[in-house]
Amino acid sequence: MKRLWPGWLLCVLTAGLFGYMFCVALPAISVLLGGMELPDQLLLGYDAEGARALFAAFVSDHAAAQAIGRISASEAYLSFHAVYDLVFPPLLAASVGFSAFAALFRPAQPGQTPRIVGVGFGLVLALSFTYLACDFVENAVADSMFGPKALKLAFNEPFVFVLQVLTRGKFASLGLAFGLTAALWVWRWKNARGVAIPLADT
């Protein structure tokens, strides 16, 4: 496992960024919106009524921010996507892929990896890329709905369904990737235990 330390360091950095984003950055924006959660925080996304209420909160805060000369929730949300949520998705996708690879990395136990295990690893990679695509497109759709320029226009209701599908797809693909990665580690643990028993008898 010593050879894998750069990957584990990546996982630690990703976890730290996740903690900052969801415990500091996003709550700070939610406060400006009267405590309303952002699409990034909801597993199932917003329905039409919820998205309309969120849009109204963005509009109200933006007007108040312009009146006193502070950064609005809409501008902060746009900046969040342009900085933190631009860096985080690739880091998370890479961390998940690395975690799955680490489960297969067994230099002390050379041998052919079972086909089903290899398929599981391939699915983890595919799901990680699916999550990455969904997250980036979700951010673009959210910016087009709640960005400062969008607040000057009428509420874009047709985009609600698109945003909801992307949000659900993001969390679903990520959840499946986590589940498969956990299954690979269970396989590794059972395989290692099966190897250790004969060695103890010799």
List the pLDDT tens digit at each of the 202 positions of the chain: 567 888 899 999 999 999 999 999 999 999 999 999 999 889 999 999 999 999 999 999 999 999 999 999 999 999 999 999 999 999 999 999 999 998 887 644 555 667 888 899 999 999 999 999 999 999 999 999 999 999 999 999 999 999 999 999 999 999 999 999 999 999 888 876 665 434 344 3
Report the chain's terminal Cα–Cα distance, integer Å: 25
pLDDT recorded at residue 99: 93
Positive/negative CA dihedral, 179, 4, 8, 128: negative
| Distance separating alpha carbons of residues 20 and 67, to the nearest angstrom | 29
Q: Which residues have a Cβ under 8 Å from the Cβ of 62 and sit 6 or more positions away?
A: 72, 73, 74, 75, 148, 151
- Name the one residue in this structure whose structure tokens are 């700070």: 28
pLDDT recorded at residue 198: 42
pLDDT recorded at residue 190: 80
pLDDT recorded at residue 105: 72
Specify the pTM: 0.86
